[in-house]
Structure 1
Amino acid sequence: MTDNKDALYAAFKAKDARFDGRFFVGVSSTGIYCRPVCRAKQPKPENCTFYATAAAAEQAGYRPCLLCRPELAPGTSVTDATANLVYRAARMLEESSGSGQSLEEIAGRLGCTDRHLRRVFTAEYHVSPVQYLQTCRLLLAKNLLTDTDLPVLEVAMAAGFGSLRRFNGLFKKQYKLSPTALRKRAVEEKKHKDNVTLALSYRPPYLWDEMLHFLAGRAIAGVEVVKNGEYMRTVHLVNADGKPVYGWVRVGHDPKKYALSVTVSETLLPILPQVLARIRHLFDLYCDPGAVYETLQVMNGVRPGLCVLGARVPGCFNAFEMAVRTVLGQQITVKAASTLASRIVQTYGVPIQTAIEGLTHIFPLPEDLLSLGGAIEDHFGVLGVTAARSNTIYELVRAFVQGEIDFDLPAQPEEEMKKLMAIRGIGSWTAQYIAMRAMEWPDAFLETDAGVKKALQPYTSKELLKMAEAWRPWRSYATVNLWNTL
């Protein structure tokens, strides 16, 4: 993309938000690099160099612009159905920036050697994985320094730096500015509370109301709350030492800034990169709506209004939680499934204190459910779950605990769907739905889904499947568009 300099300069000049995060502009006359939406004085074309990533711009010697703030740019969008190795590696580096996970470990999870990963990563992004990771940490730290009043030491630790000395040295080296000097430049006064609020950008448009409506209908009482235009939930993750960390998050929408406002409890600071990565996944912030609409606008030839620019695929924050709720929802209403999930949470969930009314529990851990004595149907039956579904959930729990299935980013959705369908009680609909929401699979299509069939009456499932061939590789987005019409 960065080869077509005339087109990129035209997008930069137009301040077109659809290009935000897809490239960065190094300005030789100032020594800084900007997002394509930067409102600073327009530089001359001959002073502009274009880079695919912020890391590449920094390795070329440019400092981030203090006006447009490159750390707020949306992430790189996946442009093919299978998500290539480098894309997945970059996402994993972003999520693990505070965990201390080594490149060898990441390469192992991706099924390749660290030498091969370094080679292909450098060829694609023009920076090494270590340099990319360094930029992820620096940009997160810059975001925290600008938007919060956290002590510099806490900023350094939250961003994944092992020591304050290393953080200060690297920050000054890259940005020619100390962390404290940057903070002094922040115009707004920040009042430190027991939480931290950051902005996560997206490429507009974003159908926020439709996303919130979907999540509200499937919210699990005690774990999730949707009200006043915001989504809130409890959080349980583990830190780099394997110790549990508990807290809560609140996500709102700031349409003027093309961003989501994410507030996290202070207890989650040690695992902030993990939390932000899961928020991006849940709200599909890596999506390029223009690329999706370019393919799916043919849906409007079937019936006007079937496809709307800006629809997102709801992801998930906790893959196990979402998978269990999906099994509970087989052949019953969405509301009934939420009721059953809430009963399980109240009975077997972990109680937690939060500052938000209605957030009272953590979803049961797989290990806790597996350790229940006796037959699983005896435990779940009194809650209203059928014996067949109870046994399916037990097998799903066992597969999670034993590592037989993997919904994390390195997962190959088509392979994991086969494993899911090998579990008695899980068919194509359930496997596709889980892949769509837990594994970011953009090409799932639920031709037997009641909502899909209702939106496209009177077509049969076989006819729908044939029709949807023209919607590849974005059939998950087609499915969501169809649900949105109901």
Structure 2
Amino acid sequence: MDLNPDLCYRALLTHDARFDGVFFVGVRSTGIYCRTVCPARTALKRNCEFFTAAAAAEREGYRPCLRCRPELAPGNARVDAPGRVAAAAALRIEEGALSADSVEGLAREFGITGRHLRRVVEAEFGVSPVELAQTQRLLFAKRLLTDSSLPMTRVAFASGFRSLRRFNALFRSRYRLKPRDIRRRHGTPSTTLTCELAYRPPLDWHGLLRFLGRRAAAGAEAVIEGRFLRTVARGWIAVGHDPRRRTLRVEVSSSLAPALVTVLGGVKRLFDLGAEPRRIAAQLGKLGRPGLRVPGAFEGFEVAVRAVLGQQVTVRAAATLAGRFVRAFGEPVETPHAALTHAWPTATRVAALPASRVAALGIVSKRARCIVALARAVRDGQIRLAPGIDVEGTKARLREIPGIGAWTAEYVAMRALAWPDAFPHSDLGIRRALRTDDPDKILAIAQKWRPWRAYAAIALWHSLEKP
């Protein structure tokens, strides 16, 4: 991705948060690289060099700023095909994909060759996937050193390093600091970890909580006192909003420390933190609302099950069925929150169930069979439900499952695949909001919202809510 130095410097002068994470600035006179929102005095333009990724700045020898902390910057959402693949690959790399697999293995997730993945990542970020992974590991370790009291060995392994010696050596060579030099002093070790995730303002936090709260599966999720709580595998998270710092504060049970990278990736997807509100609002015009987001998927299979449960029933009825499903088939989880008792069942668990057990929860038999068939397709790798996956191919494979039609496939694409142009035009709420049942007319109206029709769908649903 090409950057215009003049435009970048203007954004830097105003500390424009809308460009936070879109680019980073390296300051030649200090050897430090920063976010656009850094509170430090802005360097002279002749001393600035701009990069599309933190890894590109580090490849040129720059060290991360200790004040603005580049590891907190939000990611990017792209709508062009190469950019989407690169952004999705970057998210998977950030979640540790290359710690357990090769570039070729990651490329297979997206249905492309390793060579093509290297090419699109290099074009988008200016570095190779391996260089990107190395920088992400170091930045994540820096986050843990700053925000937690985890022992050094656990920091190293949670960040994707296979040995403490390798972690220490790379940290010192890249940042010219020992890991303990940036460790904040903590009091008594906490039973939880707290991390910050930045976003580009504005953020309609209350709209997100309303959406998630109305659809919460009792036992696995809850909205309590302005925070979103949910179980994750054998632990739990609680997500709150700090508008002053323009961040989400994520409290994570210590049991999830080894999987913290993956957990934070799920939070980013769920709250659509990579969105660029400025671009979306410009396209939606009067329909848009400040800080609009498309709630994504902490886990793709979970959203697909919700979509099937939500067919031709109210949101409240679908949430009731989801709660029964979780409590019947999910693993019990011990948490300090009375509302959190079970984890969402995995595709592997559901695939082993007879459809009759699912139907016994009050779920229509056809949908029960559909859920089990969907679980088996996900378990067997026939369908992958994650951002960056081929959208049209995935929708087609979903529609091959009896019981999944166009509405369900579009809803899954919107949330699980994070496809910003997904649009379930046959949805009853959308028809009511647009005051027409004519599908051709609805699609014609929606043309002006492309490529952000998923955001238009959310806005139309919001428009039906009572004040």
Give me the TM-score of the superposition, normalised by structure 2.
0.95
Change (3 A) 1:81 1:205: farther
> Which residue matches 2:365?
387
- Structure 1 pair 50–234 and aligned structure 2 pair: CA distance change class (3 A): same
Match of 1:430 among 408, 415, 422: 408
Question: How many aligned positions are there?
Answer: 464
Q: Which residue of 1 aligns with 2:69?
A: 69
Alpha-carbon RMSD across the aligned residues, in angstroms, is 1.8
Aligned to 2:201: 204
| Match in the other structure for 1:96 | 96
- Cα-to-partner distance string for 1:293-350 (whole Å, 9 max, x where unaligned): 12111xx2xxxxx311310001111222221121111111111111112122222221
Does structure 2 retain, via aligned residues, the 8 Å contact 1:99–1:271? no
**Distance between the aligned counterparts of 2:225 and 2:82, measured in 1?**
37
Partner AA of 1:50 in structure 2: F
Query: What do the CA deviations read for 1:105-161 (whole angstroms, capped 9, x no partner)?
Result: 112223333334334433432222111111101111111111112111111111111
Once residues 167 and 377 of structure 2 are traced to their aligned partners in structure 1, the CA distance between those partners, rounded to angstroms, is 41
How far apart are the structure 2 equivalents of 1:391 and 1:106? 31
Is the 1:97–1:160 contact (alpha carbons within 8 Å) kept by the matching residues of 2? no
C-alpha change, 1:316 and 1:112, in structure 2 (3 Å) is: closer
1:232 aligns with 2:264: no
8 Å contact 1:31–1:62 — kept in the other structure? yes
Partner in structure 1 of residue 181 of structure 2: 181
Contact 1:156 1:163 in 2 (8 A): yes
User: What secondary structure sits across from 2:244 in the alignment?
Assistant: helix
Residue 253 of structure 1 is matched in structure 2 by 241
Q: What percentage of aligned pairs have identical amino acids?
A: 48
SS of match in other structure, 1:170: helix
Q: Displacement, 1:472?
A: 0.8
Is 1:477 the equivalent of 2:458?
A: no
Q: Is the 8 A contact 1:97 1:137 kept in 2?
A: no
SS in 2 for 1:198: strand
Q: Supply the distance in 2 between the matched residues of 1:54 and 1:480 (Cα, whole angstroms).
A: 32
**Equivalent residues of 1:2, 1:23 under 8 A apart:** no
**Worse-superposed segment, 357-366 or 129-138:** 357-366
Could you tell me how far apart the structure 2 residues matched to 1:151 and 1:404 are? 40
Native 8 Å contact 2:425 2:442 kept in 1: yes
Equivalences for residues 112-191 of structure 1 within 5 A: 112-183=112-183, 186=184, 189-191=186-188
Q: Is the 8 A contact 1:97 1:136 kept in 2?
A: no
In 2, Cα distance between the equivalents of 1:115 and 1:329? 40
Which 5+ residue runs of structure 2 have no aligned equivalent? none
Distance 2:333 2:207 in 1: 29
> Which deviates the most, 447-456 or 171-180?
447-456
**Per-residue CA distance 1:40-93 (angstroms, 9 max, x = gap):** 112111111111111111111111111111111111231436754322322221
Distance 1:231 1:177 in 2: 37
Aligned to 1:336: 317
**Correspondence for 1:107:** 107
Contact 1:98–1:159 at 8 Å: present in 2 too? no
Once the 2 structures are TM-superposed, how far is the Cα of residue 426 of structure 1 from its aligned partner? Answer: 1.2
TM-superposition CA deviations, 1:20-54 (whole Å, max 9, x none): 11111111111111111111112111111111111
Counterpart of 2:16 in structure 1 is: 16
Q: Conserved in 1, the CA contact under 8 Å of 2:52 and 2:124?
A: no
* Distance (whole Å) between structure 1 residues aligned to residue 431 and residue 239 of structure 2: 32
SS of alignment partner, residue 222 of structure 2: strand
Match of 2:306 among 325, 338, 342: 325
CA drift at 1:2: 5.1
Question: C-alpha deviations, 1:186-218, integer Å up to 9, x for none?
Answer: 4x6454211101001111101000011000000
Q: Is it true that 1:312 corresponds to 2:293 in the alignment?
A: yes
Please point out which of 372, 385, 388 is paired with 1:407. 385
Give the alignment of 1:433-444 within 5 angstroms: 433-444=411-422
Give the corresponding residue for 2:217: 220
Q: 1:458 to 1:126 in 2, by over 3 A?
A: closer
CA contact (8 A) 2:220 2:344 kept: yes
Assess, with a 3 A threshold, how the Cα gap between structure 1 residues 309 and 75 changes in structure 2: closer, same or farther: same
Structure 1: stretches of 5+ with no match in the other structure: 237-245, 301-305
For residues 192 and 171 of structure 1, what CA distance do their matches in structure 2 show? 24
Q: Is the partner of 1:350 in helix, strand or coil?
A: coil
Aligned-partner Cα distance in 1 for 2:361–2:85: 43
Match of 1:280 in 2: 268
Check whether the contact 1:281–1:316 (CA below 8 A) recurs between aligned residues. yes
Deviation at 1:382, TM superposition (A): 3.1
**Distance of 2:84 and 2:376 partners within structure 1:** 30
Whole-angstrom distance in 1 between the partners of 2:134 and 2:330: 37
1:347 aligns with 2:322: no
TM-score by length of 1: 0.91
Maintained 8 Å contact 2:387/2:419: no
Call closer, same or farther: CA 1:400–1:108 in 2, change over 3 Å: closer
**Corresponding residue for residue 363 of structure 1:** 344
Deviations 1:261-282 (A, max 9, x none): 1111111111111111111111
Per-residue CA shift, 1:340-364, capped at 9, x if unaligned? 1212222222111112221111222
SS of 1:168 mapped into structure 2 = helix
User: Which amino acid in 2 is paired with 1:208?
Assistant: W
Specify whether residues 292 and 191 from structure 1 end up closer, same or farther in structure 2 by C-alpha distance, changes over 3 A only. Answer: farther
Aligned to 1:303: none
Aligned letter for 2:349?
Answer: D
